Structure 1
Amino acid sequence: MTQSRAILLTGASSGTGMSSGSGKATALRLHRAGWPVYATGRNVEALADLADEGITVLYLDVNDEESMTAAVKRITDEHGAVGTLINNAAYSLNGTIGETPMDEVRAQFETNVFGLCRLTQLVLPGMREQGGGRIIMMSSIFGMFATPGRGYYQATKHALEAISDSLRLEVAPFGIKVVVLQPAPILGGFVPDSVADLGMDTHDNPALYRDFWEHFVDWHQAYRLSDNPPLRGKIAVRAENVAKVLETAVSTPNPRIRYRLGMPPRLLPKMRAMIGERGWEKFVRAFFPIP
């Protein structure tokens, strides 16, 4: 069976985390390189510009089994199987560990972890049948460590790292490769203008960390898309850079296990090993917003 070149990309329509924008950039880059791309999202209208480019756009919600099954079936009918799955759909939940309602925590894991796992399960039979395939997981620098205010989101990225490592070894005998991307924060993603933008109206005792959240909002202004970002913004990456690396991960015969985009993901693990856990905690306290 000839291996499919069809690419199923999730999360192309929108994003509320620092990775928003990379989905569309990736769809465009891969399409222009000649790959058959199926760009998917919950808001198909927001994908109109991709459709105008000739990219196939589909409704897919990783919390909706029917939509995932329909997307995989269509690609299988047209190409024999999904050739590459890019698990890009995710969002970032803001909130402290003690005050975030558990229904929001569960929703975060449903989208960022469980939905991703189910879609992966749906594409694997076709990949095994054709004797190969590729699954690319969009992780984050925060799959390496965690900071205050986004612990549950960062926990989903830690989970993704573990799932990817297990899956890689499980599917290797079938010729399927699993690749992880760990980008630094991406310029131009969702940047809050106020504490109200963080969406924590339902959290217990929202005034408990008021000063911290005000600092949190101010701190993230460095990650707005601009030609000359402030210092923290200079170590971030752009959506186009993510798309370029994703193209490499899709097309190279022997991709890396992990692609670390930007200086921080390459430097910080070595730094943590060198300075030890207490030294690392001092660094996190010095660099990131802390209550």
Structure 2
Amino acid sequence: MPVDTHQHVALVTGASSGIGLATALRLQQAGLVVYGAARRVDRMQQLTDAGVHVVAMDVTDDASATAGVERVLAEHGRIDVLVNNAGYGSYGAVEDVPIDEARRQFEVNVFGAARLAQLVLPGMRARRSGTIVNISSMGGRITTPFGAWYHGTKFALEAVSDCLRLETAPFGIDVVVVEPGGIRTEWSGIAAEHLRATSGRGAYAERANAVATSFDSETMARRSSPPELIAATIARAVTARRPRTRYAVGFGAKPLIALRRLLPDRAWDALILRATA
């Protein structure tokens, strides 16, 4: 296949559902060549039908991540946009979550994103252009009970992104953090399942089950924003001449981040404990 050196190329991870799926479709509609990567390629027919290239990729497997990036480079010669969206929420009390599961949370949410950045950066530096979008969360700026390992990964991703932005700015590369609030995706169901399995019995059971039920509630679903809102934000960022460093979007994101910045720790703790009782 001849190498296309003109049309911009995007790689979106976690593209089998939710924000990743919506983002891959939105970027394709914006005129980019889009590769959607995920472990569950059997769920990506919608992307194939829309003209998005589908890539099987496990971001925690270095051989898989490397092969995926090499395929894009072989077919199009460049990756101009990387959207690190792959991730999940592992919930449970710190006392209860096995350390191996905590490590896996970091492997997926932090190290997988960092490794992909390493793989695409040489080409971006050579062209002196490119955009890396790291999907964090309002949970990268605020904390709630039973989310220690999830919040830990998102706080870490924010810090990695800030350092990466400083390092790559001289090469014309933008690093953007997107901080979604409540979004209608599979995330809340997976987090509730993890929480019940980990802390649904024992010392933390009463509050843990209450929090898990709130994740699954119709009220949560009604108050959540559609993933297309995040996709539109990402598209705006990657097509901007000078994108913002952070975009807080979706239900609750801006007010909760602002409130956390204003409140002392004890006042925030009291607010969250009342809300999760």
Q: Same fold (TM over 0.5)?
A: yes
Change in 2 beyond 3 A, CA 1:272/1:199:
closer
Change in 2 beyond 3 A, CA 1:54/1:163:
same
Report the Cα offset of residue 80 of structure 1.
2.3
1:8 aligns with 2:11: yes
Summarize deviations over 1:84-103 as a string: whole Å, max 9, x none: 00000001102111111111
Q: 1:102 aligns with which of 84, 88, 99?
A: 99
Structure with the largest fraction of helix: 2
Task: Give the 3-state SS of the residue equivalent to 2:35 in structure 1.
Answer: strand
Report the Cα offset of residue 264 of structure 1.
2.7
Name the CA distance, whole Å, in 2 between partners of 1:210 and 1:204.
6
Summarize deviations over 1:47-97 as a string: whole Å, max 9, x none: 112111111001111111111111211222233221000000001102111
Query: 2:88·2:190 contact (CA, 8 Å) conserved in 1?
Result: no
Over the residues paired in the alignment, what is the CA RMSD in angstroms?
A: 2.3
Summarize deviations over 1:120-161 as a string: whole Å, max 9, x none: 101000100111100000000100021111110110000000
1:146 aligns with 2:134: no
Counterpart of 2:164 in structure 1 is 167
1:219 aligns with 2:214: yes
Name the CA distance, whole Å, in 1 between partners of 2:16 and 2:117.
20
Q: 2:242 aligns with which of 251, 254, 274?
A: 254
Counterpart of 2:272 in structure 1 is 284
Counterpart of 1:18 in structure 2 is none
Change in 2 beyond 3 A, CA 1:104/1:275:
closer
Identity over the aligned pairs, expressed in percent?
39
Query: 1:76·1:126 contact (CA, 8 Å) conserved in 2?
Result: no
Report the Cα offset of residue 238 of structure 1.
1.1
Name the CA distance, whole Å, in 1 between partners of 2:160 and 2:39.
24
Aligned length: 274
Report the Cα offset of residue 270 of structure 1.
3.0
Query: 1:141·1:184 contact (CA, 8 Å) conserved in 2?
Result: yes
Counterpart of 1:17 in structure 2 is none
1:213 partner letter: A
Report the Cα offset of residue 269 of structure 1.
3.4
Counterpart of 2:231 in structure 1 is 243
Name the CA distance, whole Å, in 1 between partners of 2:48 and 2:263.
49
1:58 partner letter: V
Change in 2 beyond 3 A, CA 1:49/1:134:
same
Matches within 5 A, 1:155-234: 155-192=152-189, 197-198=193-194, 201=197, 203=198, 206-222=201-217, 230=219, 233=221
Query: 1:81·1:130 contact (CA, 8 Å) conserved in 2?
Result: no
Task: Give the 3-state SS of the residue equivalent to 2:44 in structure 1.
Answer: helix
Change in 2 beyond 3 A, CA 1:236/1:274:
same
Query: 1:8·1:37 contact (CA, 8 Å) conserved in 2?
Result: yes
Query: 1:194·1:214 contact (CA, 8 Å) conserved in 2?
Result: no
Change in 2 beyond 3 A, CA 1:268/1:57:
same
Report the Cα offset of residue 213 of structure 1.
2.4
Tell me the TM-score normalized by structure 2.
Answer: 0.91
Report the Cα offset of residue 4 of structure 1.
5.9
2:242 partner letter: N
Task: Give the 3-state SS of the residue equivalent to 1:57 in structure 2.
Answer: strand
Name the CA distance, whole Å, in 2 between partners of 1:87 and 1:93.
18
Report the Cα offset of residue 218 of structure 1.
2.0
Name the CA distance, whole Å, in 2 between partners of 1:219 and 1:9.
30
